[in-house]
Amino acid sequence: MDNDRFVIGIDYGTDSCRAVVVNASTGEELASAVKYYSRWAEGKYCDPGKNQYRQHPLDYIESLEDAIRESLSGCPSGTAENVVGIAFDTTGSTPVLTDENGTPLALLPEFAENPNAMFVLWKDHTAIEEAAEINELARKWEIDYTAYEGGIYSSEWVWAKMLHVLRADKSIRTKAYAWIEHCDWLPAVLTGVVKSEEVYRSRCAAGHKAMWHEKWGGLPGEEFLTALDPLLAGFRGHLFSETFTTDVKVGTLTKEWADRLGLPETVAVAVGAFDCHTGAVGAEITPKAFVRVIGTSTCDIMVSSYEEMGDKLIPGICGQVDGSVIPGMIGLEAGQSGFGDIYAWFKRVLEWPLENILSQTTLIDEATKAKLIKDTADQIIPILSEEAAKIPARESTILAVDWMNGRRTPDASQAVKGTITGLNLASSAPLIFRALVEATAFGSKAIVDRFLENGIEINSVIGIGGISLKSPFVMQTLSDVLNMPIKVAKSEQACAFGASMFAAVAAGMYEKVEDAQKAMGQGFANEYFPDEANHLIYKELYGKYIALGRFTENSAIFAGNFNSPSL
């Protein structure tokens, strides 16, 4: 133990903060902890009807302290004293407006309960109009600032979100000096950086979500931003031109944070990144491997050599950024705006009688009633999966499109909606659920095809995240649709585990992240192989999925006018 060195990886998901303590030499996971955001769990600051999802900075701080202290409490004596590095990943884009000191506005007394002063979560789609304006202006401008972000800017990304907040809230405009991504804020806080201009900005976040590129000197030009809206005047000058890869050391813990976390002040803090990118590293990504981080949504990551990429610009993805995953390679990102969230939606539909009818019954006592509701709700997805798996693929007569939360890729659009067709009076819950699972697999195939069509070779698929480990039915369906084997990463916390690898590099334990992968990698839990007969059935259904998607998108105008008083 005295000679061992340890690192901590922190993964901020949509609902919780996860910490893992890892032996930097062997990759052995000593302990982990998951802490849920208390305010988020209460539904505070969110309005699903408006697609508004905001998170308070204190949720991040409190869960960080609790997760690190709890995980360290499960480790052998002396572990904390031998921690040498810490690294973070977060969802993205998750930005917040700050004052001159880099403080999120929600941490100022006058904005403590103002959702517009809080971090705007990735799934917040309030900025659809702003994203459309960015795309329209970019197409006219002499420089297409969206070129390395798939050619389409999304409402899930930072400039659209920050412009929307500035437009929506005059009180915020009077104090806002700059913006910062969640993954950039955390290292700054822990190392004592208090000025916006001095923050180490993540190459991953800036390149994929902020239209940053060395080719045009960093962020989009001031003229472009002010042409978009004069409210953005001055922001570029308060931000950054240089970015850093996640293997870079920002600094070490301040005394305050060392004391709060129970760690030495000598702990190296790495540059932050987005969860899917560190997850891909934790899953031992290599060139030609397609890594799927499968959760509420999906994020798909690949790395490519400079030689393979050449001058390729892949349309409709979430960006291609030098060093965003592994330094020295081009990182490619895509994904689906809804995956597990779609299953969760159907679960909520089926839970309605439990929450609204059974909860009111007087036939049983309150304790029994609460237990019955919980136990039944917990079994909905597992039992649906079992029953749906029994339905032969050829009898899958319902077709769905997986755009319940918009479409991330290919070709971002948060205006599109989901579709289900082929229903009849015999349509059962397992049959509908099977169609939803198939829809998420078809959406995955659309992404794979976009890479293949643009000359990016894929010879393996790796799944990480809870669904990949817990749902054989979903993973087998995905394998059948893609007609590819899928390996599932062993670590339940692959994103946090990948962050720990970066922490080890930032602390000087390894020269590069590939070395950390080789030494610390945990391997794979299982592998799924495609069923050829099912693939042929799905190949035909996929064509119908594409056609239904076109119909759905082309019908959006009609759907928007359907409630018009003139109709």
How would DSSP label each residue in 53-117?
-EE-HHHHHHHHHHHHHHHHHTSPTTTGGGEEEEEEEE-SS-EEEE-TTS-BGGGSGGGTT-GGG
Q: Is the pLDDT of residue 556 over 70?
A: no
Residues 91 and 61 in one domain: yes
> What pLDDT is stored for residue 515 in this prediction?
97
Lowest mean pLDDT among 51-65, 268-282, 546-560: 546-560
Mean per-residue pLDDT over the chain, rounded: 94
Residue 168 counted as domain residue: no
Q: Which residue has the tokens 């490519």?
A: 304
Residues 58 and 181 in one domain: yes
Residues 65 and 107 in one domain: yes
> What pLDDT is stored for residue 224 in this prediction?
98
For residue 192, CA distances in Å to 102, 149, 523 come to 11, 32, 36
pLDDT tier for residue 2 given thresholds of 50, 70 and 90: low
Domain that holds residue 508: 6-123+173-211+242-283+493-521
Helical residues (DSSP H) of 210-274, grouped into ranges: 222-228, 255-261
pLDDT tier for residue 493 given thresholds of 50, 70 and 90: confident
Residue 98 counted as domain residue: yes
pLDDT tier for residue 563 given thresholds of 50, 70 and 90: very low
Query: Would you list the DSSP string of 179-193?
Result: EEEHHHHHHHHHHT-
> What pLDDT is stored for residue 466 in this prediction?
83
Half-sphere exposure of 254 (CA within 13 A, CB side): 12
The b-or-e profile of 396-409 (16+ CB within 10 A means b, else e) is bebbbbbbbbbbbb
> What pLDDT is stored for residue 555 in this prediction?
79
- Read off the pTM: 0.88
Could you tell me the sign of the dihedral formed by the alpha carbons of 229, 231, 233, 239, in that order?
negative
Residue of 170, 208, 229 lying closest to 91 (CA atoms)? 208
Residues 118 and 66 in one domain: yes
Residue of 191, 151, 196, 152 lying closest to 176 (CA atoms)? 196
- What lies within 8 Å, CB to CB, of 463 at 6+ separation is 291, 292, 294, 475, 478, 486, 487, 488, 489
Residues 278 and 415 in one domain: no
Which tokens sit at 559? 């759907």
Residue 78 counted as domain residue: yes
Residues 506 and 432 in one domain: no
Q: Is the pLDDT of residue 558 over 90?
A: no
For the chain, the maximum distance between any two Cα atoms, rounded to a whole number of angstroms, is 77
Three-state SS annotation for 359-386: HHCCCCCHHHHHHHHHHHHHHHHHHHHH
Residues 203 and 256 in one domain: yes
DSSP one-letter code for 404 = B
Residues 435 and 515 in one domain: no
Q: Is the pLDDT of residue 152 over 50?
A: yes
DSSP one-letter code for 198 = G
Residue-wise pLDDT for 42-95, tens only, equals 999 999 989 999 999 999 999 999 999 999 999 999 999 999 999 999 998 999
Residue 70 counted as domain residue: yes
Residue of 152, 160, 180 lying closest to 412 (CA atoms)? 152
Residue 382 counted as domain residue: yes
The b-or-e profile of 279-317 (16+ CB within 10 A means b, else e) is bbbbbbbbeebbbbbbbbbbbbbbbbeeeebeeeebebb
Question: Per-residue pLDDT averaged across 251-264, rounded?
Answer: 98
Residues 443 and 394 in one domain: yes
Q: Measured between alpha carbons, how far is 81 from 79 in angstroms, rounded to an integer?
A: 5
Decide the pairing of beta strands 273-274 and 83-90.
parallel
Q: Measured between alpha carbons, how far is 84 from 253 in angstroms, rounded to an integer?
A: 10
pLDDT tier for residue 136 given thresholds of 50, 70 and 90: very high
Length of the chain: 567
Q: Measured between alpha carbons, how far is 550 from 545 in angstroms, rounded to an integer?
A: 9
For residue 21, CA distances in Å to 32, 86, 265, 355, 380 come to 6, 9, 17, 39, 34
Residues 114 and 261 in one domain: yes
pLDDT > 70 fraction of the chain, expressed in percent and rounded: 98
Residue 290 counted as domain residue: no
Residue 421 counted as domain residue: yes
Integer-rounded Cα Rg, in Å, for the chain is 23
Q: Is the pLDDT of residue 264 over 50?
A: yes
497 strand-pairing partners: none
Residues 356 and 279 in one domain: no
Residue-wise pLDDT for 359-380, tens only, equals 999 999 999 999 999 999 999 9
Residues 35 and 183 in one domain: yes
Residue 264 counted as domain residue: yes
The domain spanning residue 512 has which CATH number? 3.30.420.40
Q: Measured between alpha carbons, how far is 46 from 59 in angstroms, rounded to an integer?
A: 14
Q: How many domains would you assign to the chain?
A: 2
